[in-house]
Amino acid sequence: MSSPPGKLEYLVGAFAFQSDNDLTGELRMLPKGPLQGLLLPALGLDVVTDLLGGVLTPLLDSLDNLLGALTTDALHQRFIQHTETLALFSQLTWNINDRLSLVAGLRASEEKKKVDLDQNYEQTGLLLQSAFGVTEYQLKDTREESNIAPKLSMKYSLDDDLIYASYSEGFKAGGYNPLARTADESGFDQERAKAYELGYKLTAYDGVLTINTALYHTEFSDMQIQAFIGNGFIVNNAAKATTEGAEIDISWQPWRGSQFFASWGYSDARFDSYKDGPCPASSNEETCDLSGSQLPRAPKISATAGFNVAVPLWQEKVAMMVGADMSWRDRILFDLDADPIDSQDAYHLINLHAGIVDPNGRWQFMGHIKNLENKTIRHFAADMPIFSGSHMGFLMPPRIFSAELRFAL
């Protein structure tokens, strides 16, 4: 519900959400069947059978079955969760004059989660527990959380330009990890944030040129962390973290059918306090102090630039479209433990596209080249399960050629 435009404007609303999840999973050492009868020969024990005839056959058959049960053991998982969320929100805008406006908002939220989490072994679980640290457990739990998040902002108009400043608070509800190795790792608490932002939006030459700039500072408490730690996927809370930086976006449309764009961002994202974080694969410690470390997947500097140009070909019914974009990213740490091995050095990527289009947007036929220079770029890296001190990773796709035909009905 909202008011008509005026000196005082208000907005009041409500939001309700409900969901039910029922997930099942299986973690198995080795598949059943293909290795049956092969384990004793692999260990060289079939020679004993040949020498002693059938005397030890029953014993060795039992041993073969036992080894098969150990190596094909499995952990069965079931995760059932019911979630109910209710939120009330309001916003009041005071237009002091034609240029200056003050905005105050408030959001009250309440969330309830009920979980039934069960993990059990198919056999003994000895190898699974040794390799992955997973255990049998049952968890029936309910958590209820509430939060009140205010927002304050000021906007000052300079003809087509705008200066603004804002302060806001937010939260992310806690919950349960369906892949928790133990009952102690299954739950995590809510995350809270306080955000400050100062910005300037410039519009010039009747919208031909727009420039948006912003400075920001965000403080997180009980920051929710998701990480793959070599033998399991964990979700927990770091004590405190801060992200701050600057952003600028530029768009220029010098003539109809053209656009040139660029953006640049600087971000300093670090843990202020995280004394019981995970350790690199090379460490012998259970936990490591990550206070002051860079947040994962948070490059300090990022930038993009590109253009799109449409050239009329026939009676303004068909146009040729050409364009390109380049992105640049500073060094990225992928893993939570800040291990420099699990990182990607600074890189850039270039993409091209060209084709014919309908100026009215009804159809288009485009060809694309992604990763023009066929660069080898890491997309993800982390500690390797089971093999201590080893690492694994995934690469971005190599150079790709593609074409697409689209119609708007």
DSSP labels, 325-341: EEEEE--EE-STT--TT
Which pLDDT belongs to residue 276?
A: 83
pTM of the model: 0.82
User: pLDDT under 50 in the chain at which residues?
Assistant: 34-40, 43, 45, 48, 52-53, 56, 60, 63
Q: Which token pair is 93?
A: 């805008």
- The DSSP symbol for 250 reads E
Which pLDDT belongs to residue 61?
A: 54
Q: Give the distance from CA 80 to its chain's centroid.
A: 23
Which pLDDT belongs to residue 359?
A: 84
Question: Using CB atoms within 10 A of its CB, is residue 236 exposed (0-12), middle (13-18) or buried (19+)?
Answer: buried
Which pLDDT belongs to residue 32?
A: 60
Smallest CA-to-CA distance from 237 within 225, 226, 227, 229 is with 225
Maximum distance among all Cα pairs of the chain, rounded to whole angstroms = 102
Distance CA 362, CA 356 (A): 12
Backbone region of residue 133 per phi and psi (left: phi > 0; alpha: psi in -120 to 50; beta: other values): left
Q: Give the distance from CA 21 to its chain's centroid.
A: 20
Which pLDDT belongs to residue 34?
A: 44
C-alpha separations of 214 from 105, 217, 248, 269, 306 in Å: 21, 10, 7, 16, 21
Residues β-bridged to residue 252: 209, 260
Query: Collapsing DSSP states into helix, strand and coil, what is residue 69?
Result: helix
C-alpha separations of 248 from 159, 200, 216, 245 in Å: 20, 10, 12, 11
Distance CA 263, CA 351 (A): 16
Query: Collapsing DSSP states into helix, strand and coil, what is residue 300?
Result: coil
Which pLDDT belongs to residue 40?
A: 47
CB 117 within 8 A of CB 143: no
For residue 290, what are the contacts with CB-CB under 8 A and spacing of at least 6?
Answer: 238, 271, 274, 275, 277, 336, 337, 338
CB 34 within 8 A of CB 85: no
Which pLDDT belongs to residue 126?
A: 77
Smallest CA-to-CA distance from 192 within 169, 176, 214, 159 is with 169
Question: Is residue 113 within a helix (H) or strand (E), and if so which, with residue range?
Answer: strand 100-121
**Could you tell me where the DSSP H helices lie in 111-160?**
126-132
CB 191 within 8 A of CB 224: yes
